[in-house]
Amino acid sequence: MKISSRQIWEQPWGYKEGILIAAGIGLSGLILQLTLGNIRPTLFAAPLNLIIGALFMTGLLAMHLLARKRPLGRWLTGVKATLPALALLLLLSIFLGVIPQTPNGSETALPGDLFTPLGWYRMTTSWPFVLTCFYLLLILGLTTLRRTTRKQEWRDIGFYLNHLGLFIALLGGVLGSADMERLTMRVQEGQVEWRGADANGGLRELPLAIQLDSFLLEEYPPKLVVIEHESGRMLPASRPESYMFEGIGKSTLLAGHVVEIMEHLPHAAIFSDDSITRVVPMLMEGATVALRVKVTPEGGAAPKEGWVSNGSYLYPHSLLRIDETRSLAMPLQEVKRYTSHVTLYTEEGHTRKSLIEVNKPVMMEEWMIYQYSYDDTMGKYSDTSVFELVRDPWLKIVYTGIFMLLAGALFLFFAGPKKSRT
């Protein structure tokens, strides 16, 4: 067995040099991160990002022409440089996927917080992530350019689709993040709004306007829980139980107590006077859900009967006290779905009616409009809808790269492996 006597940094380079260079890039990015903090994308908005992209492409082409036949140029287009770079990007991507991202978070680290100074809460704008992306882009670009100097075959189509697709998607994502705009807009029913607020609360006039025609919110049926009266903690403490309303006359065993539904008022008003709670039907805004229940405590104690309600912005919630320590309560109903019926206007005079709901945005004038929130203090009676408007002019470039990657994968699947000649 022949043992290699090659020293580190002696040509030809191998995996050791690839790992050291990738680690050096990561360490350099970490030093810049601790010194300068996260990159502010707005400082690199157009036309500066276009200039950076043009300089990078020019440098890439110059390096290909000058170093393609040199050992460094050949090494950068090989697997021994690519794998460590991919491993570093994969490690940072794992942190990106596991740690919650706060693009508009504070720059100030809390005591004992290590993630903020490391930039992990905003990974895509941290120096280690950006430098690693550019290093991988350099490898991808040189590898693709070097392939053009060889004799071309029809199977090279898959290679170009995969490598160019990844190059375009990654470059567009890195440079385009500076031009992405993200605004929020609050609109009341019957009102028209054309101003959006940025992360700092500043207002911007937009080339489109939104009129909220109606806002609808659907809730799941009410639930009942047994709570500890003083602390409000759900019981049993080890595994809290709940019962979702299914109809009048139904009964269930809840935290050891038998609970029977006697009456249901989907729209009710609650009045309390001298520890006496009165519930009456009321078909008006602000009405709440109320259930009249009978609770038979565990141990054979006398049953308790009364009204339970989760209240609203107009009426307080109502509990049924079981004993000195426990009560039957109705938590706030969980939101099932909320939608906004809107009319969209543009400066050119175009008008369109649309339905916007969670995970179903609408595209208008290069702006993607998402259903973001509503006035949760009003609950289902909210007359205000909050939209998030996102504009990403580089999104088409990123999508082009992704579609090229998919096309390359399909091409390689149908083309099959290259057969060697004997």
- Alpha carbon distance 321, 84 (integer Å): 64
Question: Is 70 inside any structural domain?
Answer: yes
Let me know whether 362 and 299 are in one domain. Answer: no
Residue 317: CB atoms within 10 A of its CB come to 15
pLDDT digit string, tens, across residues 33-62: 999 999 988 889 989 999 999 999 999 999
Kindly state whether residue 127 falls inside one of the protein's structural domains: yes
Same domain for 198 and 346, yes or no, is yes
Q: Is residue 10 part of a domain?
A: no
The answer to the question of residue 376 being in a domain is yes
Is residue 206 domain-shared with residue 276, that is, in the same domain?
no
- Measured CA to CA, the distance from residue 93 to residue 110 in angstroms comes to 24
Amino acid in the structure at residue 403: F
Give the chain's largest Cα–Cα span.
Answer: 99
Domain final position from 135, 150, 165 = 150
Q: Domain for residue 165, yes or no?
A: no
Q: Is the model more confident about 369 or about 7?
A: 369
Does residue 19 sit in the same domain as residue 143? yes
Selection from 269, 263, 309 nearest residue 285 by Cα: 269
Q: How many domains does the chain have?
A: 3
140 and 268 fall within a common domain: no
Domain boundary among 317, 333, 349: 333
**294 with 226, same domain?**
yes
Helix 48-67 vs helix 127-147: crossing angle, to nearest 10: 50
Q: Which of 108, 132, 150 is where one domain is finished? A: 150
Task: Tell me, yes or no, whether 6 lies in a domain.
Answer: no
Q: Kindly indicate the confidence band of residue 103, based on its pLDDT and cuts at 50, 70 and 90.
A: low
Pair (19, 139) in one structural domain: yes
- Domain residues for 72? 15-150
Taking CA 356 as the corner, what is the angle to CA 351 and CA 361, rounded to the nearest 5 degrees? 95
Region 140-169: mean pLDDT is: 92
State the pLDDT at residue 170.
95
Residues 90-100, buried b or exposed e (16+ Cβ, 10 A)? eebeebbeeee
- Residue 256: which of 326, 309, 317 has the closest Cα? 326
Residue 214 Cα distances to 90, 111, 343, 354, angstroms: 45, 45, 10, 11
Report the CATH number that the domain containing residue 351 is assigned in CATH: 2.60.98.10
Q: Are 23 and 145 within one domain?
A: yes
Q: Does 225 lie in the same domain as 201?
A: no
Q: Are 204 and 345 members of one domain?
A: yes
Does the residue 61 lie in any domain? yes
In this model, does residue 105 exceed pLDDT 80?
no
Same domain, 357 and 308: no
Query: DSSP characters for 144-213?
Result: HHHHTTSPP-TTHHHHHHHHHHHHHHHHHHHHHGGG-EEEEEEEEBT-EEEEEE-TTS-EEEEEEEEEEE
Based on the fold, state whether residues 213 and 242 are members of the same structural domain.
no
* Residue 8: inside a domain: no
Based on its alpha-carbon atoms, the radius of gyration of the chain, rounded to whole angstroms, reads 31
Model-wide pTM > 0.85 = no
Residues 119-128: pLDDT tens digits? Answer: 889 999 999 9
DSSP assignment of 386-408 equals EEEEEE-TTHHHHHHHHHHHHHH
Residue 155 to residues 45, 149, 411, Cα–Cα distance (Å): 39, 15, 9
